[in-house]
Amino acid sequence: MQTYTLSNGVKIPAIGMGTWPLKGNLLKETMKHAIKIGYRMFDTADNYDNESDIGEIIASKIVPREELFITTKISDEKNNNCPWSSTGKYFYKSSPYMKEHSVREVVEMLVNKSLRSLKTDYIDCLIIHWPYPDYLLEIWDSMCILYKAGKFRSIGVSNCRERHLEKIINNSSIAPMVNQVSISPLDTRETLLKYNKEHNIQTMCYAPLMQRNNNTLRQADIIKQIMDKYNITIEQLLLVWNVNQGIIPIPKSTSEQRLKSNFNIFNIRFTKQEIINISKLNQDLQYLPESKYCPGL
């Protein structure tokens, strides 16, 4: 398994498996297949409602706990009518709940709940799911305290733009070690990617295959040429485009064959010019919703 080294020296696998919206036996069987293939990083969140299923796999000790890299996120309470929206119970100053509880109490409560569900005494990487504007620094400070106490091996953020990262970096002694965002040839996020590299923040790409059926992508001559040259699928092309740039993709599939195909990409190296040519397809096409507080939405 190829790995990268985070800013604090922790090794992180160069590819992971996403788990949303998988649950129950389907998720557990998929994880078993993935582990057999070689996957060691699994990405979840407290509002995916599947941490307990992942916890059963961890507790089963198919592989030793220390071989796994578990990433989870702390989030506001989920609105069941919309998987990426929330109720506003946590991390909003307008919430009655937050008038009675400190940010640190809420963060500790959410973390302890995740640890119980995951059946583990530590998390490999804890991430803020959204850059909650009312309490971003308070959430980060609370995470730093728990990180120093050994609850996590690393900490990071998700859906954060440069201005969010700048705010944290300028007001904390610990910078984010990971920034999990959506990146694709149709939305290359080059400025953000450059910022992450300059500040030693590992970029992680969620839903890296989401745009594989986009006609603009599929019909592009450069895509067809590279697929033919390397005899690869469009899914593999997208993943190689990520890893060749030092980005960690976290694709999801329930197919054992697709899991293998997604995993077996590390012997493929595009030329620098091929990566540039693929990136020229950029349209700043934001395919997935991010925080409504992010600019440009």
Q: pLDDT digits over 66-114, tens only?
A: 999 999 999 998 877 665 678 889 999 999 999 999 999 999 999 999 9
User: Any idea what DSSP says for residue 135?
Assistant: T
**Lowest mean pLDDT across 165-174, 185-194, 206-215, 252-261:** 206-215
Entry pTM: 0.95
Phi, psi (degrees; rounded to nearest 5) at 105: -60, -40
CA distances from 186 to 209, 216, 266, 285 (A): 12, 9, 22, 6
Other beta carbons within 10 angstroms of residue 251's beta carbon come to 25
Question: Tell me, what amino acid is at 52?
Answer: S
Write down the catalytic residue from 48, 90, 147, 206: 48
Angle (CA) 274-280-284 rounded to 5° is: 135
Cα separation, 231 vs 220, in Å, equals: 16
Share of the chain above pLDDT 90, in %: 90
Interval 215-238 mean pLDDT: 96
Buried b (16+ CB within 10 A) or exposed e, 120-157: beebbbbbbbbbbeebbebbbbbbbebbeeebbbbbbb
Residue written as tokens 């904390």?
Answer: 172
Q: What's the pLDDT band for 161 if we cut at 50, 70, 90?
A: very high
Residue 48 annotated in active site: yes
